[in-house]
Structure 1
Amino acid sequence: MINSSETILFLSGAGLSPWIWDDVRRELPFASVVAPRPTADAASLRDYAEAAIAAVDDDTFTVVAHSIGGVVASEILRLAPERVNGVLAVSAVVPRSGESFVSAMPFPNRVVLPLALRLGGTRPPESAIRRGLGHGLDETLADRIVTDFTTEPRELYLDRTRGHSWTGRAGYLVTTQDRELPESMQQRFAGRLAGDWRESIPTGHLPMLQDPSETAASIARFIAA
Protein backbone atom coordinates (compact mmCIF):
# COMPACT_ATOMS: atom_id res chain seq x y z
CA MET A 1 0.00 0.00 0.00
CA ILE A 2 1.36 3.43 -0.96
CA ASN A 3 1.67 5.90 1.90
CA SER A 4 1.44 9.26 0.14
CA SER A 5 2.51 11.07 3.31
CA GLU A 6 6.06 9.77 2.83
CA THR A 7 8.77 12.31 2.00
CA ILE A 8 11.76 11.44 -0.21
CA LEU A 9 15.20 13.02 0.01
CA PHE A 10 17.06 12.53 -3.29
CA LEU A 11 20.86 12.51 -3.19
CA SER A 12 22.44 13.05 -6.63
CA GLY A 13 25.68 11.67 -7.97
CA ALA A 14 28.78 13.85 -8.13
CA GLY A 15 28.58 16.79 -10.51
CA LEU A 16 24.91 16.22 -11.36
CA SER A 17 22.25 18.93 -11.18
CA PRO A 18 18.96 18.57 -9.27
CA TRP A 19 16.93 18.54 -12.53
CA ILE A 20 17.99 14.94 -13.21
CA TRP A 21 15.23 13.87 -10.80
CA ASP A 22 12.47 16.07 -12.26
CA ASP A 23 10.67 13.38 -14.30
CA VAL A 24 10.87 10.82 -11.49
CA ARG A 25 9.53 13.29 -8.95
CA ARG A 26 6.58 14.11 -11.20
CA GLU A 27 5.61 10.43 -11.37
CA LEU A 28 5.71 9.77 -7.62
CA PRO A 29 2.81 10.50 -5.25
CA PHE A 30 5.15 11.72 -2.52
CA ALA A 31 6.57 15.01 -1.34
CA SER A 32 10.24 15.17 -2.27
CA VAL A 33 13.32 17.36 -2.22
CA VAL A 34 16.69 17.10 -3.95
CA ALA A 35 19.58 17.70 -1.60
CA PRO A 36 21.39 20.99 -2.33
CA ARG A 37 25.13 21.37 -2.46
CA PRO A 38 26.72 23.11 0.54
CA THR A 39 27.96 26.62 -0.14
CA ALA A 40 31.51 26.27 1.23
CA ASP A 41 34.26 26.05 -1.41
CA ALA A 42 35.99 23.14 0.33
CA ALA A 43 32.85 21.51 1.69
CA SER A 44 33.36 18.31 3.65
CA LEU A 45 31.32 15.11 3.52
CA ARG A 46 29.65 16.25 6.73
CA ASP A 47 28.75 19.58 5.08
CA TYR A 48 27.00 17.67 2.29
CA ALA A 49 25.06 15.55 4.77
CA GLU A 50 24.05 18.52 6.91
CA ALA A 51 22.86 20.48 3.87
CA ALA A 52 20.75 17.50 2.80
CA ILE A 53 19.19 17.02 6.23
CA ALA A 54 18.41 20.74 6.56
CA ALA A 55 16.58 20.69 3.20
CA VAL A 56 13.79 18.44 4.54
CA ASP A 57 11.08 20.13 6.60
CA ASP A 58 9.30 16.93 7.60
CA ASP A 59 10.36 15.02 10.70
CA THR A 60 11.21 11.84 8.81
CA PHE A 61 12.08 10.90 5.24
CA THR A 62 13.24 8.11 2.94
CA VAL A 63 16.65 8.59 1.30
CA VAL A 64 17.09 7.73 -2.38
CA ALA A 65 20.83 7.91 -2.96
CA HIS A 66 22.50 7.79 -6.36
CA SER A 67 26.20 7.04 -6.97
CA ILE A 68 28.39 9.02 -4.53
CA GLY A 69 25.14 9.90 -2.77
CA GLY A 70 25.51 6.53 -1.06
CA VAL A 71 28.49 7.92 0.85
CA VAL A 72 26.52 11.05 1.80
CA ALA A 73 23.66 8.79 2.93
CA SER A 74 26.03 6.99 5.30
CA GLU A 75 26.89 10.29 6.94
CA ILE A 76 23.19 11.23 7.17
CA LEU A 77 22.55 7.94 8.99
CA ARG A 78 25.27 8.84 11.48
CA LEU A 79 24.06 12.40 12.06
CA ALA A 80 20.27 11.93 12.06
CA PRO A 81 19.35 8.23 12.27
CA GLU A 82 16.05 8.98 13.99
CA ARG A 83 14.81 10.90 10.93
CA VAL A 84 15.43 8.21 8.31
CA ASN A 85 12.62 5.78 7.45
CA GLY A 86 14.56 3.91 4.78
CA VAL A 87 17.43 4.07 2.32
CA LEU A 88 17.26 3.05 -1.34
CA ALA A 89 20.62 3.01 -3.12
CA VAL A 90 20.46 3.57 -6.89
CA SER A 91 23.71 2.42 -8.50
CA ALA A 92 25.32 3.84 -5.37
CA VAL A 93 28.61 3.38 -3.56
CA VAL A 94 28.01 1.91 -0.10
CA PRO A 95 31.11 2.40 2.07
CA ARG A 96 32.11 0.43 5.12
CA SER A 97 32.78 2.36 8.30
CA GLY A 98 36.04 4.26 7.85
CA GLU A 99 35.93 4.18 4.05
CA SER A 100 35.65 7.10 1.66
CA PHE A 101 34.21 7.03 -1.85
CA VAL A 102 37.73 6.48 -3.17
CA SER A 103 38.79 3.81 -0.67
CA ALA A 104 35.54 1.90 -1.27
CA MET A 105 36.61 1.37 -4.89
CA PRO A 106 38.36 -1.85 -5.91
CA PHE A 107 42.08 -1.98 -6.65
CA PRO A 108 43.64 -0.27 -8.61
CA ASN A 109 41.01 2.50 -8.67
CA ARG A 110 41.44 3.31 -5.00
CA VAL A 111 45.14 3.91 -5.63
CA VAL A 112 44.84 5.78 -8.93
CA LEU A 113 41.86 8.00 -8.10
CA PRO A 114 43.52 10.15 -5.39
CA LEU A 115 46.33 11.02 -7.78
CA ALA A 116 43.88 11.77 -10.58
CA LEU A 117 41.85 14.04 -8.29
CA ARG A 118 44.95 15.91 -7.18
CA LEU A 119 46.33 16.43 -10.69
CA GLY A 120 43.18 16.79 -12.76
CA GLY A 121 40.49 17.93 -10.35
CA THR A 122 37.03 16.42 -9.99
CA ARG A 123 35.59 17.28 -13.40
CA PRO A 124 36.20 14.44 -15.88
CA PRO A 125 36.94 15.22 -19.55
CA GLU A 126 33.86 15.71 -21.70
CA SER A 127 34.57 12.48 -23.55
CA ALA A 128 34.58 10.54 -20.26
CA ILE A 129 31.29 12.11 -19.15
CA ARG A 130 29.64 11.16 -22.43
CA ARG A 131 31.08 7.65 -22.40
CA GLY A 132 30.15 6.96 -18.78
CA LEU A 133 27.29 9.09 -17.48
CA GLY A 134 25.91 9.66 -20.98
CA HIS A 135 25.71 5.98 -21.90
CA GLY A 136 22.13 5.14 -22.87
CA LEU A 137 20.96 8.76 -23.05
CA ASP A 138 19.87 10.59 -26.17
CA GLU A 139 22.18 13.31 -27.46
CA THR A 140 20.14 16.18 -26.03
CA LEU A 141 20.27 14.80 -22.51
CA ALA A 142 23.95 13.90 -22.80
CA ASP A 143 24.70 17.46 -23.95
CA ARG A 144 22.85 18.86 -20.95
CA ILE A 145 24.70 16.58 -18.53
CA VAL A 146 28.02 17.79 -19.93
CA THR A 147 27.00 21.47 -19.89
CA ASP A 148 25.59 21.40 -16.35
CA PHE A 149 28.25 19.18 -14.76
CA THR A 150 29.50 20.83 -11.55
CA THR A 151 32.98 20.46 -10.10
CA GLU A 152 32.84 19.03 -6.58
CA PRO A 153 35.43 19.53 -3.82
CA ARG A 154 37.95 16.71 -3.40
CA GLU A 155 36.77 16.26 0.18
CA LEU A 156 33.55 14.69 -1.06
CA TYR A 157 35.59 11.88 -2.61
CA LEU A 158 38.25 11.56 0.09
CA ASP A 159 36.52 12.16 3.45
CA ARG A 160 36.03 8.92 5.36
CA THR A 161 32.77 7.82 6.89
CA ARG A 162 32.66 7.11 10.62
CA GLY A 163 30.01 4.45 10.80
CA HIS A 164 26.46 4.53 12.15
CA SER A 165 24.09 2.45 14.24
CA TRP A 166 21.04 2.80 11.98
CA THR A 167 19.41 -0.57 11.11
CA GLY A 168 16.24 0.41 9.25
CA ARG A 169 14.85 -0.61 5.86
CA ALA A 170 17.29 -0.61 2.97
CA GLY A 171 17.30 -1.63 -0.67
CA TYR A 172 19.35 -1.42 -3.85
CA LEU A 173 18.39 -0.68 -7.46
CA VAL A 174 21.03 -2.18 -9.77
CA THR A 175 21.63 -0.64 -13.21
CA THR A 176 22.70 -3.55 -15.41
CA GLN A 177 24.19 -1.56 -18.34
CA ASP A 178 26.24 0.81 -16.18
CA ARG A 179 29.67 1.94 -17.40
CA GLU A 180 30.42 3.95 -14.24
CA LEU A 181 29.74 1.26 -11.63
CA PRO A 182 29.72 -2.23 -13.18
CA GLU A 183 26.91 -4.53 -12.12
CA SER A 184 29.28 -6.81 -10.21
CA MET A 185 30.50 -3.86 -8.12
CA GLN A 186 26.93 -2.76 -7.44
CA GLN A 187 26.01 -6.23 -6.28
CA ARG A 188 28.89 -6.09 -3.81
CA PHE A 189 27.72 -2.73 -2.49
CA ALA A 190 24.15 -4.04 -2.29
CA GLY A 191 25.40 -6.86 -0.10
CA ARG A 192 26.62 -4.34 2.46
CA LEU A 193 23.12 -3.03 3.09
CA ALA A 194 21.07 -4.56 5.87
CA GLY A 195 17.93 -4.91 3.74
CA ASP A 196 17.07 -7.69 1.31
CA TRP A 197 15.05 -5.56 -1.17
CA ARG A 198 16.80 -5.57 -4.53
CA GLU A 199 15.71 -4.89 -8.11
CA SER A 200 17.48 -4.38 -11.44
CA ILE A 201 16.82 -1.95 -14.26
CA PRO A 202 18.39 -2.31 -17.76
CA THR A 203 19.90 1.18 -17.99
CA GLY A 204 23.19 2.99 -17.73
CA HIS A 205 24.28 5.01 -14.70
CA LEU A 206 21.41 7.52 -14.95
CA PRO A 207 18.18 5.48 -14.81
CA MET A 208 16.23 8.53 -13.65
CA LEU A 209 16.86 10.03 -17.12
CA GLN A 210 16.98 6.95 -19.30
CA ASP A 211 13.81 5.35 -17.87
CA PRO A 212 12.19 7.71 -15.34
CA SER A 213 8.89 5.82 -15.27
CA GLU A 214 10.42 2.51 -14.26
CA THR A 215 12.81 4.24 -11.84
CA ALA A 216 9.84 5.90 -10.15
CA ALA A 217 7.98 2.60 -10.08
CA SER A 218 10.94 0.91 -8.37
CA ILE A 219 11.11 3.65 -5.76
CA ALA A 220 7.37 3.32 -5.11
CA ARG A 221 7.70 -0.47 -4.76
CA PHE A 222 10.52 -0.06 -2.25
CA ILE A 223 8.49 2.36 -0.15
CA ALA A 224 5.42 0.11 -0.31
CA ALA A 225 7.33 -3.10 0.49
Structure 2
Amino acid sequence: MTDLILLHGGKHGSWCWEPLARVMEAQGNPFARIIALDMPGCGRKRDRDPEGLSLANIARELNGELRAAQVRDAVLVGHSIAGVLLPMMAVEDPALFSRLIYLTTSVPVEGQTITQMMGTSRQGTNPDEVGWPVDLATASLEDMSRAMFGRDLDDKQFAWLLTEVAQDKTPPATQFEPVSRSGYVELGMKATYIVTLRDDILPPAWQRRFAERLNCDNKVEIDTPHEPFVSHPQLLASTLIATAFA
Protein backbone atom coordinates (compact mmCIF):
# COMPACT_ATOMS: atom_id res chain seq x y z
CA MET A 1 0.00 0.00 0.00
CA THR A 2 1.13 3.54 -0.72
CA ASP A 3 0.78 6.77 1.20
CA LEU A 4 -1.21 9.73 -0.09
CA ILE A 5 0.52 13.05 0.58
CA LEU A 6 -1.52 16.28 0.32
CA LEU A 7 -0.05 19.77 -0.06
CA HIS A 8 -2.35 22.80 0.13
CA GLY A 9 -2.34 25.99 -1.91
CA GLY A 10 -2.26 29.68 -1.00
CA LYS A 11 -4.06 30.99 2.12
CA HIS A 12 -4.77 27.38 3.08
CA GLY A 13 -3.28 24.74 5.33
CA SER A 14 -3.63 21.04 6.02
CA TRP A 15 -7.10 21.79 7.42
CA CYS A 16 -8.50 22.26 3.90
CA TRP A 17 -8.26 18.53 3.16
CA GLU A 18 -10.48 17.51 6.11
CA PRO A 19 -13.71 17.02 4.04
CA LEU A 20 -11.79 14.87 1.55
CA ALA A 21 -10.17 12.79 4.28
CA ARG A 22 -13.55 12.18 5.95
CA VAL A 23 -15.03 10.95 2.69
CA MET A 24 -12.10 8.65 2.04
CA GLU A 25 -12.24 7.13 5.49
CA ALA A 26 -16.00 6.59 5.21
CA GLN A 27 -15.64 4.87 1.83
CA GLY A 28 -12.78 2.61 2.88
CA ASN A 29 -9.48 4.42 2.42
CA PRO A 30 -7.22 2.37 0.10
CA PHE A 31 -4.05 4.27 1.06
CA ALA A 32 -1.73 3.18 3.84
CA ARG A 33 -1.77 6.71 5.26
CA ILE A 34 -3.11 10.13 4.33
CA ILE A 35 -0.53 12.76 5.29
CA ALA A 36 -1.48 16.43 4.92
CA LEU A 37 1.51 18.78 4.95
CA ASP A 38 1.70 22.42 6.00
CA MET A 39 3.88 25.09 4.46
CA PRO A 40 5.57 27.32 7.08
CA GLY A 41 3.06 29.91 8.31
CA CYS A 42 0.04 27.76 7.50
CA GLY A 43 -2.16 25.26 9.32
CA ARG A 44 -0.28 23.65 12.18
CA LYS A 45 2.66 25.99 11.49
CA ARG A 46 0.78 29.27 11.86
CA ASP A 47 3.21 30.31 14.58
CA ARG A 48 6.06 30.31 12.02
CA ASP A 49 7.16 33.42 10.13
CA PRO A 50 7.57 32.37 6.47
CA GLU A 51 9.32 35.61 5.44
CA GLY A 52 12.77 35.01 4.00
CA LEU A 53 12.22 31.32 3.20
CA SER A 54 13.05 30.28 -0.36
CA LEU A 55 11.16 27.70 -2.37
CA ALA A 56 14.13 25.37 -1.93
CA ASN A 57 13.97 25.87 1.86
CA ILE A 58 10.29 24.93 1.88
CA ALA A 59 10.71 21.91 -0.40
CA ARG A 60 13.53 20.55 1.78
CA GLU A 61 11.51 21.08 4.96
CA LEU A 62 8.47 19.26 3.60
CA ASN A 63 10.55 16.38 2.27
CA GLY A 64 12.34 16.18 5.59
CA GLU A 65 9.01 15.63 7.32
CA LEU A 66 8.20 12.84 4.89
CA ARG A 67 11.58 11.19 5.41
CA ALA A 68 11.03 11.37 9.16
CA ALA A 69 7.69 9.59 8.61
CA GLN A 70 9.51 6.90 6.57
CA VAL A 71 7.57 7.68 3.42
CA ARG A 72 8.61 5.96 0.20
CA ASP A 73 7.00 5.80 -3.27
CA ALA A 74 4.02 7.89 -2.20
CA VAL A 75 1.47 9.72 -4.33
CA LEU A 76 1.97 13.47 -3.87
CA VAL A 77 -1.02 15.76 -4.55
CA GLY A 78 -0.59 19.53 -4.72
CA HIS A 79 -3.24 22.22 -5.10
CA SER A 80 -3.00 25.68 -6.72
CA ILE A 81 0.30 27.41 -5.83
CA ALA A 82 1.73 24.07 -4.68
CA GLY A 83 2.49 23.59 -8.38
CA VAL A 84 5.74 25.52 -7.89
CA LEU A 85 6.85 23.16 -5.09
CA LEU A 86 5.95 19.68 -6.34
CA PRO A 87 8.65 19.52 -9.06
CA MET A 88 11.27 20.76 -6.60
CA MET A 89 10.23 18.19 -4.00
CA ALA A 90 10.44 15.41 -6.59
CA VAL A 91 13.91 16.46 -7.73
CA GLU A 92 15.18 16.91 -4.16
CA ASP A 93 14.28 13.32 -3.21
CA PRO A 94 12.76 11.18 -6.00
CA ALA A 95 12.58 8.09 -3.77
CA LEU A 96 9.79 9.68 -1.76
CA PHE A 97 7.28 9.68 -4.63
CA SER A 98 5.91 7.34 -7.28
CA ARG A 99 3.45 9.80 -8.87
CA LEU A 100 2.69 13.50 -8.72
CA ILE A 101 -0.89 14.74 -9.05
CA TYR A 102 -1.32 18.41 -9.86
CA LEU A 103 -4.78 19.55 -8.78
CA THR A 104 -5.52 22.76 -10.72
CA THR A 105 -2.01 24.01 -9.97
CA SER A 106 -0.31 27.21 -11.09
CA VAL A 107 2.68 26.57 -13.34
CA PRO A 108 4.66 29.65 -14.42
CA VAL A 109 7.21 29.33 -17.21
CA GLU A 110 10.79 28.78 -16.09
CA GLY A 111 12.13 31.89 -14.38
CA GLN A 112 8.69 33.52 -13.98
CA THR A 113 6.87 34.17 -10.71
CA ILE A 114 3.26 33.30 -10.00
CA THR A 115 2.57 37.02 -9.55
CA GLN A 116 3.89 37.71 -13.05
CA MET A 117 1.98 34.78 -14.49
CA MET A 118 -1.31 35.99 -12.98
CA GLY A 119 -0.78 39.65 -13.93
CA THR A 120 -3.28 42.36 -13.06
CA SER A 121 -5.73 42.23 -15.98
CA ARG A 122 -9.20 40.73 -16.19
CA GLN A 123 -9.27 37.17 -17.50
CA GLY A 124 -9.22 36.98 -21.29
CA THR A 125 -7.97 40.52 -21.92
CA ASN A 126 -4.23 39.79 -22.01
CA PRO A 127 -3.13 36.54 -23.70
CA ASP A 128 0.13 36.55 -21.73
CA GLU A 129 -1.55 36.71 -18.31
CA VAL A 130 -3.94 34.35 -16.57
CA GLY A 131 -5.78 37.40 -15.25
CA TRP A 132 -8.47 37.65 -12.58
CA PRO A 133 -12.24 37.06 -12.47
CA VAL A 134 -12.77 40.45 -10.80
CA ASP A 135 -11.38 43.96 -11.25
CA LEU A 136 -8.51 44.18 -8.76
CA ALA A 137 -8.87 47.95 -8.54
CA THR A 138 -12.51 47.93 -7.43
CA ALA A 139 -13.31 44.45 -6.05
CA SER A 140 -13.93 44.13 -2.33
CA LEU A 141 -12.30 41.43 -0.22
CA GLU A 142 -15.68 39.67 -0.12
CA ASP A 143 -15.91 39.75 -3.92
CA MET A 144 -12.39 38.36 -4.28
CA SER A 145 -12.99 35.65 -1.69
CA ARG A 146 -16.23 34.58 -3.35
CA ALA A 147 -14.48 34.43 -6.72
CA MET A 148 -11.53 32.46 -5.38
CA PHE A 149 -13.16 30.07 -2.94
CA GLY A 150 -16.94 30.41 -2.84
CA ARG A 151 -18.46 28.66 -5.82
CA ASP A 152 -20.64 25.64 -4.93
CA LEU A 153 -20.17 26.18 -1.18
CA ASP A 154 -23.08 26.75 1.15
CA ASP A 155 -22.96 29.54 3.72
CA LYS A 156 -21.65 27.27 6.48
CA GLN A 157 -18.86 25.86 4.32
CA PHE A 158 -17.89 29.31 3.08
CA ALA A 159 -17.81 30.79 6.59
CA TRP A 160 -15.63 27.90 7.81
CA LEU A 161 -13.27 28.36 4.88
CA LEU A 162 -12.87 32.12 5.40
CA THR A 163 -12.28 31.69 9.13
CA GLU A 164 -9.40 29.33 8.42
CA VAL A 165 -8.04 31.29 5.44
CA ALA A 166 -7.74 34.44 7.56
CA GLN A 167 -5.28 32.69 9.89
CA ASP A 168 -2.79 31.37 7.33
CA LYS A 169 0.35 33.21 6.18
CA THR A 170 1.42 31.78 2.83
CA PRO A 171 5.20 31.91 2.28
CA PRO A 172 5.89 34.94 0.04
CA ALA A 173 8.36 32.91 -2.03
CA THR A 174 5.50 30.91 -3.52
CA GLN A 175 4.22 34.07 -5.19
CA PHE A 176 7.30 36.23 -5.70
CA GLU A 177 10.25 33.90 -6.32
CA PRO A 178 11.03 32.95 -9.95
CA VAL A 179 10.37 29.25 -10.34
CA SER A 180 12.88 26.62 -11.35
CA ARG A 181 12.09 23.09 -12.48
CA SER A 182 15.72 22.21 -13.14
CA GLY A 183 16.11 18.44 -13.37
CA TYR A 184 12.38 17.77 -13.32
CA VAL A 185 11.87 16.71 -16.94
CA GLU A 186 14.95 14.48 -16.82
CA LEU A 187 13.51 12.78 -13.74
CA GLY A 188 10.68 11.32 -15.82
CA MET A 189 8.36 10.88 -12.85
CA LYS A 190 4.76 9.91 -13.59
CA ALA A 191 2.51 12.95 -13.35
CA THR A 192 -1.22 13.62 -13.68
CA TYR A 193 -2.91 17.01 -13.99
CA ILE A 194 -6.51 17.32 -12.74
CA VAL A 195 -8.33 20.08 -14.63
CA THR A 196 -11.25 21.67 -12.78
CA LEU A 197 -13.69 22.73 -15.48
CA ARG A 198 -15.58 25.43 -13.55
CA ASP A 199 -12.53 27.09 -12.03
CA ASP A 200 -12.90 30.85 -11.56
CA ILE A 201 -9.21 31.45 -10.76
CA LEU A 202 -7.34 29.23 -13.21
CA PRO A 203 -9.36 28.92 -16.44
CA PRO A 204 -9.35 25.39 -17.92
CA ALA A 205 -7.48 26.54 -21.04
CA TRP A 206 -4.62 27.72 -18.83
CA GLN A 207 -4.73 24.53 -16.77
CA ARG A 208 -4.27 22.46 -19.94
CA ARG A 209 -1.30 24.68 -20.83
CA PHE A 210 0.13 24.05 -17.37
CA ALA A 211 -0.23 20.29 -17.83
CA GLU A 212 1.91 20.53 -20.96
CA ARG A 213 4.57 22.56 -19.13
CA LEU A 214 4.77 19.78 -16.55
CA ASN A 215 5.06 16.98 -19.13
CA CYS A 216 2.09 15.21 -17.54
CA ASP A 217 1.55 11.75 -18.96
CA ASN A 218 -2.10 11.85 -17.93
CA LYS A 219 -4.78 14.55 -17.75
CA VAL A 220 -8.16 14.18 -16.00
CA GLU A 221 -11.01 16.68 -16.16
CA ILE A 222 -13.63 17.04 -13.42
CA ASP A 223 -16.70 19.29 -13.36
CA THR A 224 -15.86 21.32 -10.25
CA PRO A 225 -14.62 24.77 -9.21
CA HIS A 226 -11.17 25.50 -7.77
CA GLU A 227 -11.72 23.89 -4.33
CA PRO A 228 -13.09 20.38 -5.01
CA PHE A 229 -11.75 19.03 -1.70
CA VAL A 230 -14.48 21.14 -0.05
CA SER A 231 -17.15 21.49 -2.73
CA HIS A 232 -16.99 17.98 -4.24
CA PRO A 233 -14.93 15.74 -1.93
CA GLN A 234 -16.54 12.48 -3.11
CA LEU A 235 -15.76 13.18 -6.75
CA LEU A 236 -12.22 14.21 -5.92
CA ALA A 237 -11.71 11.14 -3.74
CA SER A 238 -12.78 8.76 -6.51
CA THR A 239 -10.62 10.66 -9.02
CA LEU A 240 -7.52 10.49 -6.82
CA ILE A 241 -8.02 6.80 -6.10
CA ALA A 242 -8.53 5.95 -9.78
CA THR A 243 -5.46 7.97 -10.75
CA ALA A 244 -3.20 6.65 -8.00
CA PHE A 245 -3.99 3.00 -8.69
CA ALA A 246 -4.32 3.11 -12.48
Bin of the TM-score, shorter chain as denominator length: 0.7 to 0.9
Q: CA RMSD in A?
A: 2.3
Tell me, yes or no, if structure 1 residue 220 matches structure 2 residue 241.
Answer: yes
Q: Deviations over 1:96-139 (max 9, x none)?
A: 43333234447564899xxx8xxxxxxx9233112221112111
Match in the other structure for 1:121: none
Q: Take 1:111 and 1:24, find their aligned partners in 2: how far apart are those partners?
A: 29
Q: For structure 1, which segment, 18-27 or 60-69, has the greater mean C-alpha deviation from structure 2 after superposition? A: 18-27
Q: CA deviation at 1:180?
A: 0.9
Which of 152, 161, 179 aligns to 1:136? It is 152
Match in the other structure for 2:106: 93
Which of 25, 32, 45 aligns to 2:55? It is 45
Which of 131, 154, 169 aligns to 1:151? It is 169
Q: Take 2:56 and 2:220, find their aligned partners in 1: how far apart are those partners?
A: 29
TM-score for both structures, normalised by structure 1: 0.84
CA 1:46–1:40 in structure 2 vs 1: closer, same or farther (change >3 Å)?
Answer: farther
Q: CA deviation at 1:211?
A: 0.8
Which of 156, 163, 171 aligns to 2:192? It is 171
Q: Deviations over 1:60-112 (max 9, x none)?
A: 32110110011111221231223221111111112443333234447564899
CA 1:46–1:185 in structure 2 vs 1: closer, same or farther (change >3 Å)?
Answer: same
Q: Take 1:24 and 1:134, find their aligned partners in 2: how far apart are those partners?
A: 17
Q: Take 2:192 and 2:112, find their aligned partners in 1: how far apart are those partners?
A: 20
Q: Take 1:21 and 1:153, find their aligned partners in 2: how far apart are those partners?
A: 19
Q: Deviations over 1:169-190 (max 9, x none)?
A: 1111111111011111111111
Which of 206, 211, 227 aligns to 1:206? It is 227
Which of 209, 213, 234 aligns to 1:188? It is 209
Contact 1:90 1:174 in 2 (8 A): yes
Match in the other structure for 1:8: 4
Superposed, 1:17-28 pairs within 5 Å as 17-26=13-22, 27=24, 28=29
Superposed, 1:66-81 pairs within 5 Å as 66-81=79-94
Identity between Structure 1 and Structure 2 (%) = 24
**Which segments of structure 1 move beyond 4 Å, counting only runs of 4 or more?**
106-112
Q: How many residues align?
A: 211
Q: Take 2:99 and 2:54, find their aligned partners in 1: how far apart are those partners?
A: 24
Structure whose CA Rg is larger: 2
Where structure 2 has 5 or more consecutive residues not aligned to the other structure, the ranges are: 41-47, 120-125
